[in-house]
Amino acid sequence: MNVLSPQALSPEVIGNKQLFTQGTIDMAVETMFLSVVNHPHIITMRAFGNQGMMHPNYFIILDRLYDTLEARIPKWNLSSKKAKGFLNKLKKTSKSKLDELMETKLCYAYDLTGAFEYMHKNKLVYRDLKPEVSIRILFKYILLFISTFD
């Protein structure tokens, strides 16, 4: 069962004409983009409001994401540090834990590469690639979420 997450403009954005204009444009572009992509590692838009994309109460419904790459990297660094720690060396589990962590990272990289390959084949361009904006992780699967466009 998917847990869903509504995305809408905040009251602060709605109340500011310049931010509202930019926010509605961004949400309209997201809607257009997400309505035509179909890849297991690109987030799926489940629904959208029917009052028009430029309406202040317009919304989109996406799968809920529980983690970001920006948050995951420090967790991986901590796991790596723990795996190299004294107790793991004493128990001789350090190498296997580091190997498992590397396998996890490589799986994420592989999934991410597949999403970018799909975008490339479909001539989709993403200009603002950074962990806190573009990549979000749901359980162990990478999902690409596009939030800004050219």
pLDDT along the chain (150 residues), means of 10: 86 95 90 86 89 93 80 86 82 85 86 84 67 43 41
Q: Is residue 11, in this structure, part of any structural domain at all?
A: yes
Burial class (CB in 10 A: 0-12, 13-18, 19+), 60: buried
Which pLDDT belongs to residue 148?
Answer: 37
Give Cβ neighbours of residue 55 (< 8 Å, ≥ 6 apart): 49
- Would you say residue 48 lies in a domain? yes
Per the listing, tokens 């590692």 go with 41
pLDDT at 37: 86
- Identify the H or E element spanning 116: helix 94-121
Is 149 within a domain? no
Torsion angles phi and psi, residue 76, rounded to 5: -65, -40
Structure confidence at residue 125 (pLDDT): 65
**Would residue 150 count as lying in a domain?**
no
Number of folded domains in the chain? 1
Q: Would 131 be classed as within a structural domain?
A: yes
CA 147-48-29 angle, to 5 degrees, is 35
* Residue 19 domain flag: yes
Which pLDDT score, from 0 to 100, does residue 59 have?
A: 95
* Parent domain of 10: 4-144
